[in-house]
Homo-oligomer: A and B are copies of this chain.
Amino acid sequence: MLYIVGLGLGDERDITVRGLDTVRSCSKIYMEAYTSLLSLGLDPAALANLEKLYGKEITVADREMVEDRVDQVLSKAADTDVAFLVVGDPFGATTHTDLVVRAKKMGVEVKVIHNASVMNAIGVCGLQLYRYGETISIPFFTDEWRPDSFYEKIQNNRKLGLHTLCLLDIRVKEPTWESLARFKDHFLPAYGRDTLCIGVARLGSDDQKIVAGPMEKLLDVDFGPPLHCLIIVGETHPLEEEMLEFYMIK
Contact = CB atoms under 8 A, between A and B. Distances in A.
Given A8-B114, A129-B135, A97 B16 contact: no
A123 B116 CA distance: 12
Contacts of A90: 123-124
Nearest to A10: B18
A106 to B, nearest CB: 13
Interface size on A, as a range, is 35 or more
A72 to B, nearest CB: 21
A208 to B, nearest CB: 10
B120 A117 contact: yes
A94 interface: yes
A17 interface: yes
Given A14-B18, A17-B20, A89-B116, 9 more contacts: A15-B16, A17-B17, A91-B123, A114-B121, A114-B204, A115-B115, A115-B116, A116-B117, A156-B160
6 contacts: A6-B116, A12-B17, A16-B16, A89-B120, A100-B126, A130-B167
Interface of A: 6, 8-10, 12-18, 20-21, 53, 89-92, 94, 97-98, 100-101, 104, 112, 114-117, 119-121, 123-124, 126, 128-137, 156, 160, 162, 167, 204, 239-240, 242-243, 246
